[in-house]
Amino acid sequence: MNPRTTRLVLIISAFLAGLVLCFTVILLISGRGAMPIATANAAIGGPFRLTDQNRKAITDQDLKGKPFLVFFGFTHCPEVCPTALFDMSEIFNRLGPDADKINALFVTVDPERDTPAALKDYLSSFDPHLIGVGGDSDALAAVAKAYRVYYKKVPLKDGDYTMDHTAIVYLMDKTGAFVAPFSLKRRPEESAADLRRYF
Ligand SMILES: [Cu+2]
Overall average pLDDT of the 121-136 stretch: 97
Q: Is the pTM of this model over 0.95?
A: no
Residues counted in the chain: 199
How much distance in Å is there from the Cα of 72 to the middle of ligand 1? 8
How much distance in Å is there from the Cα of 84 to the middle of ligand 1? 8
How much distance in Å is there from the Cα of 77 to the middle of ligand 1? 4
How much distance in Å is there from the Cα of 106 to the middle of ligand 1? 10
User: What pLDDT score does 13 carry?
Assistant: 61
How much distance in Å is there from the Cα of 74 to the middle of ligand 1? 6
- What is the tens place of the pLDDT at every residue in 16-68? 555 455 444 444 444 444 444 445 555 899 999 999 999 999 999 999 999 99
CA distance 27 to 17: 15
**3-class DSSP assignment, residue 111:** coil
**Does the pLDDT value for residue 177 go beyond 50?**
yes
